Amino acid sequence: MNYKPVYNRILLELSGEMMAGNGNTIDIKVLNSLIPQLAELRSFEIQIGIVIGAGNIWRGAGKGNSMNRSKADMIGMLGTVINALAIQGVLEKSSIPTRVLSAINFEPVVEVEHLEPYVGKNAIKYLQNKEIVIFAGGTGNPYFTTDTTAALRALQIGADVLLKATKVDGVYDSNPTENINAKKFHKLSLKQAIQMNLKVMDATAFCICEENNISIVVFALNPGGNIKKVVFGEEIGTLLYPSRFDDISK
């Protein structure tokens, strides 16, 4: 592992499902496991933005036959705010300064400390002040996924990389839990990922990153310490890179 980080500002995407455990919608043990990892990254002056999903609370896409898609998506976006506040709560309990910036404006309905509307320049200011910034409320619009939100926020804050933490240790050509012969990719261009219709992220997110030269690393969140390994350049998971850097695969 390198002694110095290879990324200075990261956008970490966490799925809502990863927050659940032991039958709980939000498992505090899971949240507490993030504290030492994020605290260590801050000690190396890494600026950290987080986008969180809401799959542990609500799977909007699966409710399409029961209600209007935009209504289902709005419920999901509200779910991301709940998850963001939960992460903020455990981080601040450990004296890690954290902001939640929401694409959905709650004022004057509710007043929560360090919960405010999303403003790009404020996000960058907080990152520069060594605060962890959690982006909630999706994009504020229906029909867009957490993947797309993560790609958009990575672009807006000028992140060096988008890190997608999952339950699987990278990108495969088929579902490794269903196909024991599934092939894992260690490096793959975003254009190839789009052409192969890989489902690890949605095509809109891939296109945003491809067009704006943002690399993505897909890796397993567990075991603990994997976030640091990626940030310090250890080759775990799968690197998805903009096609203009095709020589990276040689």
Reading the chain (250 residues) residue by residue, the pLDDT tens digits are 567 899 999 999 999 998 887 778 999 999 999 999 999 999 999 999 999 999 999 976 555 567 888 899 999 999 999 999 999 999 999 999 999 999 998 765 566 778 899 999 999 999 999 999 999 999 999 999 999 999 999 999 999 999 999 989 999 998 888 898 999 999 999 999 999 999 899 999 999 999 999 999 999 999 889 999 999 999 999 999 998 877 654 4
Before 176, cis peptide (omega within 30)?
no
Residue 31 and residue 90 in contact, taking contact as beta carbons nearer than 8 Å:
yes
Q: What global pTM score does this model have?
A: 0.93
Please give the pLDDT value at position 157: 98
Residue 87 and residue 50 in contact, taking contact as beta carbons nearer than 8 Å:
yes
Domains and CATH numbers, the chain: 9-249 (3.40.1160.10)
Please give the pLDDT value at position 245: 74
Residue 135 and residue 50 in contact, taking contact as beta carbons nearer than 8 Å:
yes
Please report which residue ranges of the chain form alpha helices under DSSP H.
Answer: 28-43, 69-93, 120-128, 146-157, 190-195, 203-211, 226-231
